[in-house]
Structure 1
Amino acid sequence: MMTRYYFDIRDGQDLYPDEEGLDLADQKAAEIEAARALGDLAKDLPPLDERQHMAIEVRTMSGPIFQAAFVFEIARLKQ
């Protein structure tokens, strides 16, 4: 039986809800879809100094399931 998963996009503090969702076989398929979507979003990101955290929050009609996220941090190495 297929489950409908919704892939809401969180960009910094903004949330863009997925109104349609996708019917997928299981959570593993939803995890793969979330990872692919993050990769696609990363292609259009601004330069490093302007980036915020970005995530895809995955839910079903029953509620939140998991979050896949890019976390941008610049660590300055001691020289």
Structure 2
Amino acid sequence: MATPRDAHTEVPHALLRRPVRDIASGTEGTLMAVLVENTAAVGLPERWAEIAYVRPVGGGRELSTAVANIEAV
């Protein structure tokens, strides 16, 4: 598959800059960005997905997760 034209760029999302929960880990925080990224392991065919970045409540290192794992708090 060819690289998507919008690869590694920010994707609009209704919950951007709002409180969210990552249902996979239970982490709550602020949705900082959603990016289109290649999630395939090295040496495997490309696999493009929308990845959400959540900054935990109180700050700290942002967590990345599939955008489907994000819900409003």
User: Which has the greater radius of gyration?
Assistant: 1
TM-score (norm 1): 0.27
Considering fraction of residues, name the structure with more helix.
Answer: 1
Considering fraction of residues, name the structure with more strand.
Answer: 2
TM-score (norm 2): 0.28
